[in-house]
Amino acid sequence: MKDISKKDIETLVKLQEAETQIVRLKAVLEKVEKKKVKLSGQLKQFENALEKNKENKLKAVAACRDIEMEIQIIDDRIIKSNEKLRMVKTNKEYQLFLREVDDNKKRKDALETELLEYFDENEKQEEIVEESEKEYLLLKDKIETEQKDIEKQSKDDRELLDEYLNRQKDIGKALDPSLMNRFAKISKMNEGLAVVNVSNEVCLGCFMNIPPQLYIEVQRGNSLISCPQCSRILYYIKS
């Protein structure tokens, strides 16, 4: 036990009141930041999905273009093969170029069938992208509105936190540095609760009974007394 004045105890109580608000506001702001990160993550996830849909659309367009180019090449081959057919002199050459024309026509038919499938896929991807863009814009507006509301609220909380931090600093100036250090250490150990009331021989920090003689000493308010169980600084307020 260390002898201190009742004024010191009153100062410690005020310090605790500020600390309690600081811990609360920091928790609120931390929760706000997590919510902002979560909202941004949702938007990013949807944005990635939209980009994937656009990429699929571009692939379908590119595939159509490639097939159309190959069909054009085959058409040119067919034309050249037909020209050669008119100029052949032997039956063997005729059969060779005729087979070449037939093969190219079969290949062209297969490509045209494939092209129709890609046209359908392209149309499908366009619809998906269009719908995704609408949904993305709606979600973006919704999330931006939520983030603005969150930012407005957190701005008030940050200002209030700064106010309590300054208040705590000013209150701490009235205490001996060693006492201030002890408060800070206990506060860190107990999630921001360093100074607690005691009532009916019960510590209201850990809700454990304290020895009767210790309770009497706390009531006198002339000594710095800590709870034997949780180490918090005890004080007494007469009902």
Nearest Cα residue to 166 out of 4, 21, 6? 21
Would you place residue 231 in the very low, low, confident or very high pLDDT band (cuts 50, 70, 90)?
very high
Give me 14's structure tokens: 């005020």
Domain holding 210, by residue range, is: 176-239
Q: 15 pLDDT exceeds 80?
A: yes
Per-residue pLDDT, averaged over 95-106, amounts to 87
What backbone phi and psi angles, to 5 degrees, belong to 226? -110, 150
Q: What is the pTM of this model?
A: 0.66
Asked if the structure places residue 2 within a domain, the reply is no
Q: 75 with 186, same domain?
A: no
CATH number at residue 55: 1.10.287.1490
Q: 66 in a domain, yes or no?
A: yes
The answer to whether position 70 is within a domain reads: yes
Q: How do residues 130-178 score in pLDDT, each as one tens digit?
A: 898 998 899 889 888 888 888 888 898 999 999 999 999 999 998 999 9
* 187: pLDDT strictly greater than 90: yes
Q: Please give the mean pLDDT across all residues of the chain.
A: 90
Within the chain, what is the greatest distance between any pair of CA atoms? 128
Buried b (16+ CB within 10 A) or exposed e, 139-152: beeebeeeeeeeee
What is the pLDDT confidence band of residue 217, given thresholds at 50, 70 and 90? very high
Specify if 9 maps to a domain: no
Task: Judge if 39 and 147 occupy the same domain.
Answer: yes
The proportion of the chain whose per-residue pLDDT surpasses 90, expressed as a percent, equals: 49
The last residue of a domain, from among 173, 201, 230: 173
Q: How many domains does the chain have?
A: 2
H or E, element range at 160: helix 91-172
Q: Which residue has 């941004």 as its token pair?
A: 40
Please classify residue 100 by burial: count the beta carbons closer than 10 Å to its beta carbon, then call 0-12 exposed, 13-18 middle and 19+ buried: middle
55-96, pLDDT tens digit by residue?
988 888 898 899 999 999 999 988 888 888 888 778 888 888
Q: Which residues pair with 199 in a beta bridge?
A: 202
Q: What is the pLDDT of residue 1?
A: 53
Residue 16 inside a domain? The answer is no
d(CA 238, CA 224): 17
Q: DSSP assignment, residue 239?
A: -
pLDDT of residue 199: 92
Residues 169 and 212 in one domain: no
User: What is d(CA 102, CA 205) in angstroms, rounded to the nearest whole number?
Assistant: 93
Shared domain check, 208 and 165: no
Q: Are strands 2-3 and 195-199 parallel, antiparallel or unpaired?
A: unpaired
Asked, for residue 92, whether it belongs to a domain, the answer is: yes
Q: Is residue 13 part of a domain?
A: no
